[in-house]
Amino acid sequence: MAQAIQKVGVIGAGQMGSGIAHVCALAGFDVKLHDVSPDRIKQALATINGNMARQVSKKVITEEQRQAALDKIAPAESMDDFSDVDLVIESATEKEEVKKKIFTDLCPSLKPEAILATNTSSLSITRLAAATDRPEKFIGIHFMNPVPLMELVEIIRGIATGDQTFEASKEFVSKLHKTIAVAEDFPAFIVNRILLPMINEAIYTLYEGVGTVEAIDTAMKLGAHHPMGPLELADFIGLDTCLSVMQVLHEGLADSKYRPCPLLVKYVEAGWLGRKTRRGFYDYRGEKPVPTR
């Protein structure tokens, strides 16, 4: 039988972590949200409140559901606050050493039967699991951004992930009303293995002067019917995240076709990371986004 999950911990109160807390609370789970910065937790709670209010205005949920969900989310001041949770989902920055440090600090606070999941979009589940005291209870649960709107969740087993952990994770994701895609533990899994090389190729197309930012995005929106152009999407994801995934693909698969475009590297070095820094392939500091190239 699958292990029952009722209480969920989320580590990381950024865009992904707040979205995960949002959908978990709406699905009826008790949620504890932790971040190294208490201010980020406050900001996340305000964001969740605002996003749920928009769902009420669009009649996606009722005001009663919003209030009930908000009451289910509580700040976690320290790792010790996760002592009674059944599942912890790590959603920190996409850096392996950061995630491993979190697991090292977290594991002593967890009850033995607690499942530990990572929301990594590209890193090895097997390697991350080996940094914990419970590789058989470790799994990848990769949500898409923005979490409340995107229907898909990738579930990835590491080599040591137990059947009970796998079944419990699938049951949990199903209760969030998400569709599951099971991926093998290869660099970037399914979605990013396909999506990020496309974005990287779009950046090469810009780098080589084949088209402008506006031309490339318009071509893919109208020519391939994508809802968002690849450069606009890169800004939305975060250019630092795009670069991290491409580096994982390049190093993990040792194929030159995954080499990050030098222009992507240059933008990240400049601190132009997209929407979150208000500058990337578009400049977001004015009334409307303007292409930077």
* Alpha-carbon gap, residue 10 to 166, rounded angstroms: 19
* Alpha-carbon gap, residue 27 to 24, rounded angstroms: 5
The distance in angstroms from the start CA to the end CA of the chain is 55
Bridge-based pairing of strands 7-11 and 290-291 is: unpaired
* Alpha-carbon gap, residue 110 to 96, rounded angstroms: 21
* Alpha-carbon gap, residue 9 to 116, rounded angstroms: 9
* Alpha-carbon gap, residue 289 to 286, rounded angstroms: 7
DSSP per-residue codes, 20-79:
HHHHHHHTT-EEEEE-S-HHHHHHHHHHHHHHHHHHHHTTSS-HHHHHHHHHTEEE--SG
Q: CB count, 10 Å around CB of 216?
A: 23
Active site residues: 121, 142, 154, 192
DSSP per-residue codes, 235-246:
HHH-HHHHHHHH
Instruction: Output the CA–CA distances (angstroms, integers) from residue 136 to 79, 154, 169, 194, in the order listed.
Output: 21, 18, 13, 28
* Alpha-carbon gap, residue 35 to 40, rounded angstroms: 7
